[in-house]
Amino acid sequence: MTAHSHIEAIPAVNCTVGESPLWHAEQTAWYWVDIPAKTIWKLDARSGKLQSWQTTEMVACIALKDDGDFIAGMETGIFNLHLGDGLRALQTRLAAPPELGNGMRFNDGRCDRQGRFWSGTMFMDMAAAKALGRLYRYTKKQGLSGPVVSELLTQNGLAWSPDGKTMYLSDSHPASQTIWAYDYDTDEGMPHTRRVFVDMKPLAGRPDGAAMDIDGCYWICGNDGSCVLRFTPQGKLDRSIALPMIKPAMCTFGGPDMSTLLISSIGAGKAEGDQWAGSLVLVRPGIAGVPETRFSQ
């Protein structure tokens, strides 16, 4: 079913490629990144105050750490980011895969339910359709492991079921448009038994960034499709929320009751008439989400 929910825009923000939104409960704040702008944004949900930090290279995904900093997938590796009072983030590179060559960067990423950080790489020129993307795991003890999954065009859609026993991964490239599900070994931190969860080709949009709700349903942004879609654990489409932007990029649950969905979008190469391109919107879909696990392992 298609739902037309009340949509609230975050004012004074227009991203080139808005990605990796997340909710910081202690700060009652939203964070997200603008990849080409090399910027991390913060919105205080109570005061409405906006704050931003610059990075020296593109930052594609961020996750909270148990020490208060952030872990991030960037152009040249996995980084620790400290956001202080200044205008620039303090960057420390933690690891880099040898396969991360010219024209590549990390893309989508988050922590599993046990606190391990996962992120994948992509070849930035999507028109070249090079399946060079790989998925990696990073922990404090083991460092960078992988590639765990290879031959991805545009890695996206990473998420875990509430119990952590199912891992989801998408490839949002027009040549793929597929979401996979894996059985996930929570002790070893390894996915196995890959299967097609959803073939998005017949549906609206390409499968971009994702979020999980408390019912175990998987929410995915329909990039180029002006919607966010919800799939049941069985892969059945049971909700579609129409959005005012053509290219929604990633969604996350947050707010004091975890029942607000923040959706980022892409402003680059916007279509004529897409006045919402690059904006961020808040939607109340009527269901709560699962809080993101912080990096701790």
Distances in Å between the alpha carbon of 29 and those of 44, 116, 254, 255? 4, 23, 9, 8
- Residues 26-59 have pLDDT tens digits of 999 999 999 999 999 999 999 999 999 999 999 9
Cβ atoms of 169 and 158 closer than 8 Å = yes
On whether the CB atoms of residues 212 and 218 are closer than 8 A, the answer is yes
Q: How far apart are CA 245 and CA 108, in angstroms?
A: 20
User: Where residue 5 falls among pLDDT bands split at 50, 70, 90?
Assistant: low
Q: Report the C-alpha gap between 241 and 91 in whole angstroms.
A: 37
CA distance 204 to 198: 12
Per-residue pLDDT at 151 exceeds 90: yes
pLDDT (0 to 100) of residue 2? 40
Catalytic (active-site) positions: 208
pTM of the predicted protein model: 0.95
Query: Reduced to 3 states, what is the DSSP secondary structure of residue 243?
Result: coil
pLDDT range class, residue 275, cuts 50, 70, 90: confident
Domains and CATH numbers, the chain: 2-283 (2.120.10.30)
SS3 202: coil
Q: State yes or no: pLDDT of 4 exceeds 50.
A: no
The number of C-alpha atoms within 13 Å of 64 and in the hemisphere containing its C-beta is 19
User: Average of pLDDT values for 164-182?
Assistant: 97
Q: Residue 243 pLDDT more than 50?
A: yes
d(CA 96, CA 144): 8
Q: Is 32 helix (H, G, I), strand (E, B) or coil?
A: strand
Cα-based distances in Å from 271 to 33, 87, 128, 240, 275: 22, 32, 21, 22, 9
Q: What are phi and psi of 59, to 5 degrees?
A: -110, 120
Determine the 3-state secondary structure of 128 from DSSP.
helix
Chain centroid to Cα 169, Å, comes to 11
Contacts of 275 (CB under 8 A, 6+ apart): 244
pLDDT tens-digit readout, 80-117: 999 998 899 999 999 999 988 889 999 999 999 999 99
- For 43-55, b/e burial (b = at least 16 CB within 10 A) is bebeeeeeebbeb
Structure tokens, 147 = 């590639």
The percentage of the chain sitting over the pLDDT mark of 70, rounded to a whole number, equals: 98
How far is it, in rounded angstroms, from Cα 232 to Cα 138? 29
- Asked whether residue 3 carries a pLDDT value surpassing 50, the answer given is no
